[in-house]
Amino acid sequence: MLYTSLRLEIDMDWKPHITSDPTIMHGAVCFRGTRIAVSVVLDNLADGETPERILDQYPSLKAEHIPAAIAYAADLARERVVAVPAT
């Protein structure tokens, strides 16, 4: 079952966890301190992967990155432009 052991934080502030740097991954939106694009996590969740499995597959991710990715996607769904903090 999705989110069995990871609690989704409703008001998650994604900005401390997500960044974009033109010198890393050609400016793709990534989790701070990694080269893992936020879209990778969102794609995996959309495909039915559990957060636990995603964390197992990407050891540099932290548990808080999962709800941060969802909060970022929610902001994108509400806005036309979402400012992403630079590194």
| CATH value at residue 35 | 1.10.10.10
48 in a structural domain: yes
10 in a structural domain: no
Nearest to 34 by CA among 12, 51, 55, 48: 55
- For residue 54, the enclosing domain spans 18-78
- pTM of the full structure: 0.79
Q: List helix spans (H) across the chain.
A: 38-46, 51-57, 65-78
84 in a structural domain: no
Domain count for the chain: 1
Q: So what's the pLDDT on residue 84?
A: 76
Q: So what's the pLDDT on residue 40?
A: 98
Largest Cα–Cα distance of the chain, in whole Å? 37
pLDDT single digits (tens) 42-54: 999 999 999 999 9
45 in a structural domain: yes
